[in-house]
Amino acid sequence: MIANAQILATVLLEERAQLVSGSTDNHLMLLVVRTWDLTGK
């Protein structure tokens, strides 16, 4: 599972996503969505 999350984090970073921690050391990651003008509303 962790390997899959790390691959996903790498691909998201390549697509200019911002991860709060910069990467993932486990299966959890926090993504900054303001980059894409998303607010969650």
Predicted TM-score of the model (pTM): 0.66
**How large is the average pLDDT for residues 18-22?**
81
- Quote the pLDDT of residue 5: 83
Q: Is 40 left (phi over 0), alpha (psi -120 to 50) or beta?
A: left
pLDDT at 6 over 80: yes
pLDDT at 22 over 80: no
User: Domain residue spans in the chain?
Assistant: 2-36
Cβ distance 6 to 30 under 8 Å?
no
pLDDT at 10 over 80: yes
Q: Which helix (H) or strand (E) holds 6?
A: helix 2-14
